[in-house]
Structure 1
Amino acid sequence: MVSPESRLAEAGLEIPTVAAPVAVYVPAVRSGSYVYTSGQLPLRDGDLIRTGKVGAEVSPEEAYECAQQCMLNALAAVRAELGDLSAVARVVKVVGFVASAPGFTAQPQVINGASELLGTAFGDAGQHARSAVGVAVLPLDAPVEVELVVEVR
Structure 2
Amino acid sequence: MSNGPHAKLAELGLALPDVVPPVASYVPAVQSGQHVYVSGQLPVVEGKLLATGQVGAGVSPEQAKDLAERCALNALAAVDSLVGLENIVKIVKLTGFVASAPGFHGQPAVINGASDLLGAVFGEAGRHARSAVGVAELPLDSPVEVELIVEVG
TM-score class, shorter-chain normalisation, is over 0.9
**Partners of 1:14 and 1:106 in 2: how far apart?**
28
- State percent identity of aligned pairs: 63
Shift of 1:56: 0.5
Q: Report what 1:134 is aligned to.
A: 134
Tell me the number of residue pairs that the alignment of Structure 1 and Structure 2 aligns. 152
Which whole-Å CA distance do the structure 2 matches of 1:135 and 1:100 have between them?
Answer: 6
How high is the TM-score relative to the length of structure 1?
0.98
What letter is aligned with 1:120?
A
Structure 2 unaligned regions, length at least 5: none
CA RMSD in angstroms comes to 0.7
Per the TM alignment, residue 16 of structure 1 is displaced from its structure 2 partner at its CA by 0.3
- Within the alignment, does 1:15 sit opposite 2:16 as a pair? yes
Runs of 4+ in 1 over 2 A off after TM superposition: none
Structure 1 gaps of 5+ residues are none
* Aligned counterpart, 1:89: 89
Q: Which amino acid aligns with 2:52?
A: T
Give 1:65 deviation, angstroms: 0.7
Which residue of structure 2 aligns with residue 44 of structure 1? 45
Alignment TM-score, normalising by the size of structure 2: 0.98
Q: Distance in 1 between matches of 2:23 and 2:123?
A: 31
| Counterpart mapping for 1:1-150 below 5 A | 2-82=3-83, 84-150=84-150
Q: SS of the residue aligned with 1:104?
A: coil
